[in-house]
C-alpha cells in the first residue's frame, strides 16, 4: 500500500445515475484501508488543470441517492494530445497520486488506453454508462435507472396515445448501442423497436402500421434508438408523416431526462460493489483493467479488450419484439 501514495478518482464523459454511489464506495474503501484519496473534478480536463481536491468520508455523505456526479464531468479534446496527457501526468505526480479509479464509458476507457501508452500508473475503470456499450460486464452503472426512466415515460405516452388513437415515435438514447431501446420496448409492449445493431426496413415498419390500422388496433408505439441507421426518431416520424399522412403521428424525444434522477437500488448496489472492487484490485496489484460483473460475480477485463469488443444483442430479445407485438 505504501508505494501507491494516494488514489485519485474521476468521472468522465456522459454522466450516469449511480456515479455518486460509486464515488462514495471508492472514497470510503480507500479511507478504510488507510489510503489518501483525491477527487479529480471535471474528468480528464480537470486532471490537466490540476482541479484536484482531497476527499474525506463526510464529503461523500448523503450522495448515494443523488443522480449526476459530485465531481462534475467533461469531455477533453486537450487530453487527446501528447501535450495534454503530459500535463495531466505532471498534476498526478504533484499530488502524489499513485493510482487511478476511472468512472465512465467507452470514451473514458479509450482515453485511458492512450494515456497509459506513455505514462505508467496503476488504474482500474468502473463501467458507468447508460448505453451498456462495454464488453467485460453484464451490467453498467446507470443502465437500469435509464431504462426505468424510459419505461415510465413511454407508459405515460401510451396512455395519451390510446386516448387519441395516435402513432407515437419515441426516441431514446443509444448512439451506438440499442440496449435502452430494446429493453424499454419489450417492457412497454412497443409495436416496433429500432436499434443500431439491426438493419430495419422502413417499408416493413409502415406495413405493420397500416396492418394495425386495418385491424382497428388504435395504438402503435415505435421505440427508436437515437443511433438507428434510419436516422433516429425524427427520420422515422417524417417517413410516417409522408407515407401515411392520414394518421395522427407524434414524435417524443426523451433526451437527457434518461441521464438524470435518483439511481435505482440495482444501480446503487452495483456502484457500491464495483467501487469497492476497484480499490481492492489496485491494492492487490491489478492495473489497466475494468471491474465488471458477469453472472453475478466480479470480473476484471483488460482495458484494451474493453474498447475493442462489442457485446452482441441476444437473439431471443429481438424475436420477442416481433412475436409479442401481434
Q: Is 289 helix (H, G, I), strand (E, B) or coil?
A: strand
The Cα–Cα gap between 321 and 182 comes to: 8
Residue written as grid cell 421505440: 223
Catalytic entry in 51, 106, 131, 192: 131
Selection from 92, 102, 96 nearest residue 4 by Cα: 96
Backbone angles phi, psi at 250, to 5 degrees: -130, 155
For 117, half-sphere exposure in the C-beta direction (CA atoms, 13 angstrom radius) is: 11
Q: Are 71 and 9 in contact (CB under 8 A)?
A: yes
Q: CA torsion sign, 76 to 80 to 84 to 87? A: positive
Q: Give CA separation, 117 vs 82, 122, 303, in Å.
A: 11, 12, 12
Active site residue 192: no
Secondary structure of 193-215 in the HEC alphabet?
EECCCCCCCHHHHHHHHHHHHHC
Residues acting as catalytic residues:
131
Amino acid at each position: 500500500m505504501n508505494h501507491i501514495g494516494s488514489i485519485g478518482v474521476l468521472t468522465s464523459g456522459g454522466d450516469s445515475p449511480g456515479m455518486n454511489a460509486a464515488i462514495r464506495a471508492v472514497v470510503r474503501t480507500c479511507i478504510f484501508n488507510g489510503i489518501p484519496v483525491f477527487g479529480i473534478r471535471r474528468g480528464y480536463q480537470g486532471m490537466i488543470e490540476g482541479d484536484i481536491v482531497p476527499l474525506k468520508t463526510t464529503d461523500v455523505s448523503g450522495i448515494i441517492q443523488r443522480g449526476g456526479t459530485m465531481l462534475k464531468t467533461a469531455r477533453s479534446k486537450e487530453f487527446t494530445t501528447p501535450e495534454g496527457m503530459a500535463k495531466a501526468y505532471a498534476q498526478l505526480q504533484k499530488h502524489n497520486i499513485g493510482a487511478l479509479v476511472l468512472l465512465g464509458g467507452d470514451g473514458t476507457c479509450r482515453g485511458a488506453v492512450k494515456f497509459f501508452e506513455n505514462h505508467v500508473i496503476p488504474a482500474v475503470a468502473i463501467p458507468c454508462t447508460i448505453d451498456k456499450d462495454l464488453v467485460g460486464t453484464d451490467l453498467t452503472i446507470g443502465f437500469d435507472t435509464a431504462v426505468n426512466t424510459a419505461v415510465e415515460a413511454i407508459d405515460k405516452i401510451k396512455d395519451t396515445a390510446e386516448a387519441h388513437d395516435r402513432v407515437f415515435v419515441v426516441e431514446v438514447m443509444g448512439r451506438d448501442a440499442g440496449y435502452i431501446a430494446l429493453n424499454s420496448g419489450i417492457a412497454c409492449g412497443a409495436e416496433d423497436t429500432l436499434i443500431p445493431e439491426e438493419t430495419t426496413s422502413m417499408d416493413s415498419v409502415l406495413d405493420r402500421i397500416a396492418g394495425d390500422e386495418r385491424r382497428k388496433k388504435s395504438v402503435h408505439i415505435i421505440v427508436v434508438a437515437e443511433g438507428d441507421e434510419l436516422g433516429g426518431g425524427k427520420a422515422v416520424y417524417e417517413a410516417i408523416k409522408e407515407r401515411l399522412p392520414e394518421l395522427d403521428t407524434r414524435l417524443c424525444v426523451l433526451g437527457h431526462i434518461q441521464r438524470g434522477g435518483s439511481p435505482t437500488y440495482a444501480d446503487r448496489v452495483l456502484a457500491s460493489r464495483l467501487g469497492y472492487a476497484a480499490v481492492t484490485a489496485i491494492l492487490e496489484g491489478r492495473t489497466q483493467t475494468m471491474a465488471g460483473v458477469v453472472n453475478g460475480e466480479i470480473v476484471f477485463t483488460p482495458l484494451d479488450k474493453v474498447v475493442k469488443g462489442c457485446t452482441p444483442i441476444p437473439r431471443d430479445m429481438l424475436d420477442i419484439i416481433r412475436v409479442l407485438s401481434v
